[in-house]
């Protein structure tokens, strides 16, 4: 008998029919002799709909505390309904809110981190033979205030709870069959990965592969929680996410991801003297702007050029920040560029295999495209290119790294991605 945490996302519980199907699946697992703790998200687009409602009510930014009061109701609806559906199948079940389940968070609204879990109540109910259903995405501060964990946070609830109750596995049920080498909606012959390492998954999640929330992967890695990502629409084996994962012979790249949320800021004609980069990036950090790729070109006549990327919504703010330190730094011009995309290849074996990045550059240039910026880490190479032919680039890279299969990927149900 094993203790399993099963997490179902919004599209898996999108309507009453789907809710019943999830109930069946849980009861089937419990009747196969396992103990099930289930974490659910709000039904379908509930969270988005609630956010839309606030826009009709309040013209500024609504108080963050009240936002959390509102958004946590979505998951409360789900847990109660799922519990009822399980009861009607003759299985005892009990639902808990995040606070009833002992999920404590820091005192931050909208994107709180979990600080502590007191799972006694959950474990007690499990021992009594119940399926326990816990509302994802929510927690409580030490002072008793309700918080949320950030969009997509139910994954984190599931993994953190799995760590706290020492579950044998945390299964993330979603609308695709597992983790794919790239988005199967873009590349029809994307391959489903039997396994992937935590580090690779973390890179892909951070690059925008929305199947798993990055914080959940971080948690799984830190607490060594075995994760399985699988479909709630069929019984196919999913993808195992773990510390070490085998690579198929001859394949070095595990996955390809892309991120359209990229803007480039260029500062031209910067007076060359010590401390210039520090001034620029300290000012950006103080304005809470995350900088991704940074490139400094060579110095000519005592003047240098810098470029860096930020997320699209930070573009204007970044330009303003740079303008505000113009006299302190001394430069000729600051400009910004959008309609860019960052394409990345990820694979733990890259570090020990020569020529992996070279193949990426060659594949992109064979399409007649130029590369604006490059960054590399031990397990990742990213290129910033113009956005016009992204799907073609992804397909070409997928083929170049030997990832194409002849099977068409399974994609079921409406998308859970944002």
Instruction: Look at the block and give the residue holding tokens 């399993």.
Output: 4
Contacts to ligand ASP from residues 150-209, by CB under 6 A: 151-154
Of ligand ASP, Mg ion, none, which one sits near residue 47, judging by CB under 5 to 8 A according to partner kind?
A: ligand ASP
Among 12, 29, 47, 258, binds ligand ASP (CB under 6 A): 47
Instruction: Look at the block and give the residue holding tokens 């039904």.
Output: 43
> Does the protein bind ligand ASP through residue 14 (CB under 6 A)?
no
Residue 229: CB minimum distance to ligand ASP, A: 14
Beta-bridged to residue 116, according to DSSP, are 104
185 is in an annotated binding site: yes
Rg (CA), the chain: 23
Alpha carbon 95 to its chain's center: 26
Of ligand ASP, Mg ion, none, which one sits near residue 119, judging by CB under 5 to 8 A according to partner kind?
A: none
Only one of the segments 39-47, 226-234, 283-291, 316-324 lies at the binding site for ligand ASP (rule: CB under 6 A); that segment is 39-47
How many whole angstroms separate alpha carbon 333 and alpha carbon 64? 38
Binding pattern for the stretch 242-271 against ligand ASP, x by CB under 6 A and - elsewhere: ------------------------------
Beta-bridged to residue 7, according to DSSP, are 39, 172
Only one of the segments 95-103, 146-154, 177-185, 190-198 lies at the binding site for ligand ASP (rule: CB under 6 A); that segment is 146-154
Residue 82: CB minimum distance to ligand ASP, A: 14
Of ligand ASP, Mg ion, none, which one sits near residue 178, judging by CB under 5 to 8 A according to partner kind?
A: none
How many whole angstroms separate alpha carbon 219 and alpha carbon 216? 5
The four Cα atoms 47, 53, 55, 57 give a dihedral, to 10 degrees, of -140
Instruction: Report whether 223 contacts 281 (CB < 8 A).
Output: no
14 is in an annotated binding site: no
How many whole angstroms separate alpha carbon 11 and alpha carbon 274? 53
> Does the protein bind ligand ASP through residue 136 (CB under 6 A)?
yes
Task: Please say which residue, 42 or 280, places its beta carbon nearer to ligand ASP.
Answer: 42
Structure-token pair, residue 49: 């709909």
Q: SS3 of 360, please?
A: helix
Judged by CB under 6 A, the number of residues near ligand ASP is 12
Instruction: Look at the block and give the residue holding tokens 């302190």.
Output: 328
Residue 98: CB minimum distance to ligand ASP, A: 11
> Does the protein bind ligand ASP through residue 74 (CB under 6 A)?
yes
| CA angle, residues 65, 66, 69, in degrees to nearest 5 | 95
C-alpha pair distances (Å), 384 with each of 83, 264, 327:
47, 9, 30
Q: How many CB atoms lie within 10 A of CB 274?
A: 6
Of Mg ion, ligand ASP, none, which one sits near residue 233, judging by CB under 5 to 8 A according to partner kind?
A: none
Residue 39: CB minimum distance to Mg ion, A: 11
Task: Please say which residue, 9 or 119, places its beta carbon nearer to ligand ASP.
Answer: 9
Binding residues for ATP: 7-10, 174-175, 180, 185
Binding residues for substrate: 47, 75
Applying CB under 6 A, the residues found at the interface with ligand ASP are 9-10, 41-42, 47, 74, 136-137, 151-154
């Amino acid at each position: 008998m094993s203790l399993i945490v099963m997490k179902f996302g919004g599209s898996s519980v999108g309507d009453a029919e789907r809710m019943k199907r999830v109930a069946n699946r849980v009861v089937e697992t419990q009747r196969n002799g396992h103990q099930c703790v289930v974490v659910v998200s709000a039904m379908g687009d509930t969270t988005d709909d609630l956010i839309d409602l606030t826009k009709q009510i309040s013209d500024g930014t609504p108080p963050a505390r009240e936002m959390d009061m509102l958004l946590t109701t979505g998951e409360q609806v789900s847990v109660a309904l799922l519990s009822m559906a399980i009861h009607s199948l003759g299985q005892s079940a009990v639902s808990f809110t995040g606070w009833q389940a002992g999920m404590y968070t820091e005192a931050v609204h909208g994107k709180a981190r979990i600080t502590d879990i007191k799972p006694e109540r959950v474990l007690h109910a499990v021992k009594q033979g119940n399926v326990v259903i816990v509302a994802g995405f929510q927690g409580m501060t030490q002072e008793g205030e309700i918080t949320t964990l950030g969009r997509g946070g139910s994954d984190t609830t599931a993994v953190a709870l799995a760590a706290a109750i020492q579950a044998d596995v945390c299964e993330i049920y979603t609308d695709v069959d597992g983790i794919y080498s790239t988005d199967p909606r873009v590349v029809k012959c994307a391959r489903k990965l039997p396994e992937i390492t935590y580090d690779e998954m973390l890179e892909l999640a951070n690059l925008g592969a929305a199947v798993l929330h990055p914080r959940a992967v971080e948690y799984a890695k830190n607490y060594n929680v075995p994760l399985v990502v699988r479909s709630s629409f069929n019984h196919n084996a999913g993808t195992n996410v773990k510390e070490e994962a085998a690579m198929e012979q001859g394949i070095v790249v595990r996955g390809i991801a892309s991120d359209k949320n990229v803007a480039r800021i260029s500062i031209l004609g910067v007076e060359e003297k010590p401390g210039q980069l520090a001034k620029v990036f300290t000012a950006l950090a103080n304005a809470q702007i995350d900088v991704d790729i940074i490139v400094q070109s060579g110095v000519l006549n005592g003047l240098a050029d810098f470029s860096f990327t930020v997320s699209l919504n930070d573009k204007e703010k970044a330009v303003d920040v740079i303008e505000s330190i113009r006299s302190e730094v001394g430069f000729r011009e600051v400009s910004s560029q959008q309609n860019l995309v960052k394409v990345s290849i990820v694979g733990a074996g890259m570090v020990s295999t020569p020529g992996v990045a070279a193949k990426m550059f060659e594949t992109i240039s064979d399409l007649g495209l130029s590369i604006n910026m490059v960054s590399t880490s031990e397990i990742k190479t990213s290129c910033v290119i113009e956005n016009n032919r992204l799907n073609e680039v992804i397909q070409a890279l997928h083929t170049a790294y030997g990832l194409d299969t002849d099977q068409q990927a399974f994609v079921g149900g409406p998308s859970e991605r944002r």
